[in-house]
Amino acid sequence: MMARGNQLNRSAMHLLHRAGQCAADIFSSEARTSGLTPRQFAVLMVVAEEEGLTQTDLVERTGIDRSTLADIVGRLLGRGLIQRRRAKDDARAYAIKLTPQGAKSLREAQPGAQTTDAQLLANLPPAKRQDFLESLNLIVAAVRK
């Protein structure tokens, strides 16, 4: 329940941050055997869906800022979960591809990600769950413009 007079409980910015922390904590617990963070999982998901994307493409699709994405890509490369090759249409850019180990880590993390989503949404009445996801998508779409 919201405490009366607590301005943080009426701050969308603060509550979204706290909800994100809760989601990351649950994911870390549920998908711990994969060794992936939520953002690493997101990057691998996008790469699995569309092989050959550049880091710029990944920034656009995930919303992760460039410097953080570069760090994530470096860590995933170091763990052998992705490969980088020069992009065919732009020699300055790298195309990212999932390795077999990356595909395995992604498969291992998917049940934990699904459990995380289920646990988060279970806190809402069933009739509000789809509206909640649509509201979050509206916020993300509006900010991305």
Instruction: Say if CB 44 and CB 36 are below 8 A apart.
Output: yes
Q: In this model, does residue 8 exceed pLDDT 70? A: yes
φ, ψ at 53 (rounded to 5°): -70, 150
Q: Where are the domains of the chain?
A: 17-144
Considering the four listed CATH numbers 1.10.1740.10, 3.40.50.1820, 1.10.10.10, 3.50.50.60, the one that applies to the domain covering 17-144 is: 1.10.10.10
Pairing of strands 82-86, 94-98: antiparallel
pLDDT value, residue 65: 93
Instruction: Say if CB 93 and CB 15 are below 8 A apart.
Output: no
pLDDT value, residue 139: 92
Helices assigned H by DSSP within 31-145: 38-49, 55-62, 66-78, 100-121, 126-144
Within 10 angstroms of residue 81's Cβ, the number of other Cβ atoms is 25
pLDDT band, residue 2 (cuts 50/70/90): low
| pLDDT tens digits, 16-74 | 999 999 999 999 999 988 899 999 999 999 999 998 899 999 999 999 999 999 999 99
| pLDDT tens digits, 115-141 | 999 999 999 999 999 999 999 999 988
Q: What is the pTM of this model?
A: 0.86
